[in-house]
Amino acid sequence: MASHAHAMFLVDACVCLPVTILLLVLSCLAIKRGQVPVIYYTNLLITTLLQLFTMIALVANPGQLQYISPSVSCYAFSMMANLGFKICISLEGSSIIVFRQLDSIRKTTISVLACAMTWVICIITISLAADKQFIVCILAILLAPLYILCLAGTLKCLPAATSVPVKEKQRIVGAVVLLFVNYFVMIAPMIVLIFHIRSYMLDHTEYIVTHSTDVIMTLFLLSPFVDLILFVFMCDWFTDKLVASLCCCIKADSTTSTV
């Protein structure tokens, strides 16, 4: 692993991993408040944890990359599920803006069913796939048009969505744009790099890591932090509660000082 990518891996292991566990607990609390988007986000955090744990296992034992080990299969599965739940969040947010009259979009039963289908499809696909890395890359390529349609549809129908609260629209647009940038800046270049390495290995025995490869790997390892930033848009009730608590503390301090 190159220098910058190795440093980003250490940041993922030491910072991103504990913060992800903390946000997973907080998102579980948000589900109890009936926030449907957080159901997708909670499953997304679970896949992020699987990615981080299996990534640590693969770096600790690089020899597992030479064959189809449980860690390789688990990482491919978590990556595939991670992409699936990200597109679920984009589609859910975009649908609220585009199909404003369709109330069933935000029903808990629909979101739970979508999550269950995502897990089942990923388990079956990874279990049956001989080349797990290749199948994940193909899925990621197929999802690219959906990210474009979600962003384009959301921005196009945003002025007409007068029935949607302003704060809700800001949350949706922020999440859709963030996921769009995450895909085309951090994930898509890694897919291109993987196909380039595979084609290179057909004629050569070893792939030489270049500076551009290091940058692409570093951006890809930065992707788990996007899942953490997404928390701001998914769990807006928590930020509101935090601000309210801070305001109460400030008022209490001012009252105490006055007395």
Reported confidence tier of residue 101, pLDDT bands at 50, 70, 90: low
**Mean per-residue pLDDT, 101-115:** 73
pLDDT for residue 245 is more than 70: no
Q: Tens digit of pLDDT for each residue in 21-53? A: 998 888 777 666 555 557 888 999 999 999 999
Neighbours of 19 (CB within 10 A): 14
- pLDDT given at position 231: 85
pLDDT for residue 18 is more than 90: yes
- pLDDT given at position 257: 46
**Mean per-residue pLDDT, 184-208:** 79
How far from 202 is each of 158, 195, 198, 207, CA to CA, in Å? 48, 11, 7, 10
Distance from C-alpha of 21 to C-alpha of 1, rounded to nearest angstrom: 26
pLDDT for residue 62 is more than 70: no
Reported confidence tier of residue 132, pLDDT bands at 50, 70, 90: confident
Domain 3-258 has CATH 1.20.1070.10: yes
